[in-house]
Amino acid sequence: MNAEFNDLRPYTDLEIPAAMSRIASSSALPLLASYVFPDKPLADVQQMLRSIQTVDQFQRTIMHTVNEQIISQSTTAFTCGGIECLSPRTPYLFVSNHRDIMLDASLLQNVLYDNGHQTSQITFGANLMTNPLVVDIGKANKMFRVERPGGSIKDFYRSSMHLSEYIRYVITNLKQSVWIAQRNGRTKDGNDQTDQGIIKMFCMSKADDKIAALSQLNIVPVAVSYEWEPCDILKTIELYVSRNVKYIKKPGEDLNSILTGILQPKGRVHFQFCKPITTEELMLFNECTNNEYHKQVALLVDSRIHSSYHLWPNNYIAHDMLYGQRRFAHKYTAAEHAAFEKRLTKLERYDIDIDLDLDILKDIFLGIYANPVKNHQ
């Protein structure tokens, strides 16, 4: 590993034993262990952690089991498509829509592993890297640090270039895949849109050839679709508050979102690996200015994700309710409609210290589920 990237990179195998010892000694381990290994005594889990020597062993022994528990306890079906068109020997840049802080990338690793691919490195927001236990688990699970925009323009440029160089290094030198969200932060309104600034960042590390800059990264858009949107109530409240004032997260709010996303029933979940972005497609934009090039590639990624997003009955129900139609009534049953309406009524019982306009709140909630239908159309 190039020492230039020590501030970003995940743990190496040499750093794993010390990290495992810290996790085994953490005061939070009894709670975590009771969820992941409910049938094992705590001492056995601690001994298992202290015996782990490599990143691969941690992912196989711990994280794969964590994801299997999440899948078995909070989903009714977990499926994937398109991975059969990808080569296990090729490193890819997975550009994914982003609906849950942890699950989008974490569950993807099980899909990769179970289909004979190496797991990918994963971008991990610096805002989440504050708790030492979270840092140890994340960096042992191939997560690498990404700074959020802020500070001076000069600092933002420097950190973006550094990230761009690291992603290119991982894919072209280490021959490992990378997962990154299509935008900073989760999509909260159900409207998955790629930030063209992300595409610009990819190109920064090879500014002399914009076509090669992206074609060398083997970009594969990924559409993850949850039947029941993770943290849908929390997202609705945040969007409601943000309509009038700048939303300021409370201490521990990210951790609450992580736990809610893990524990909340998600129904059916589908991961779709889209067709890779080809050099021939990129060449169609060769005469564009750099800014227009980044925009067009972002739109290309969006079109892949929108067309591959798996629409569930909830999405069609929300669209019909939002627009006062029965256009998609053939896409759902009366029982499914009743279940969705029952979920919607939870907004009426949500306790928050501001006055809420329930009609606006419901429209926001419906939009989260309805927007994928609009985009798919």
pLDDT tens digits for range 142-157: 999 998 766 788 888 9
Judged against a pLDDT cut of 80, whether residue 310 lies above it is answered with yes
- pLDDT single digits (tens) 192-248: 999 999 999 999 999 999 999 999 999 999 999 999 999 999 899 889 988 876 666
- pLDDT single digits (tens) 77-87: 999 999 999 99
**How sure is the predictor about 251, in pLDDT bands with cuts at 50, 70 and 90?**
low
Amino acid 248: pLDDT: 67
**DSSP single-letter state for residue 63:** I
Residues 136 and 114: beta-carbon distance below 8 Å: no
Amino acid 293: pLDDT: 98
Which residue is it, tokens 């991975």? 83
> Could you tell me the strand order of the sheet in which 267-273 lies?
75-81, 267-273, 219-226, 93-96, 178-181, 121-125, 143-146
Residues 371 and 188: beta-carbon distance below 8 Å: no
Most confident of 31-45, 47-61, 123-137: 47-61
What are the start-end ranges of the H helices in the chain? 16-24, 29-36, 42-51, 55-58, 64-74, 103-114, 132-140, 153-172, 196-204, 210-215, 232-242, 253-263, 279-283, 290-308, 313-323, 334-344, 358-376
* Half-sphere exposure at residue 129, Cβ-oriented, CA atoms within 13 angstroms: 19
Judged against a pLDDT cut of 90, whether residue 364 lies above it is answered with yes
**How sure is the predictor about 351, in pLDDT bands with cuts at 50, 70 and 90?**
low
User: What's the token pair of residue 181?
Assistant: 């969200």
**Burial bucket for residue 143 (CB in 10 Å: 0-12, 13-18, 19+):** buried
Compute the average pLDDT of residues 311-328: 98
Amino acid 258: pLDDT: 78
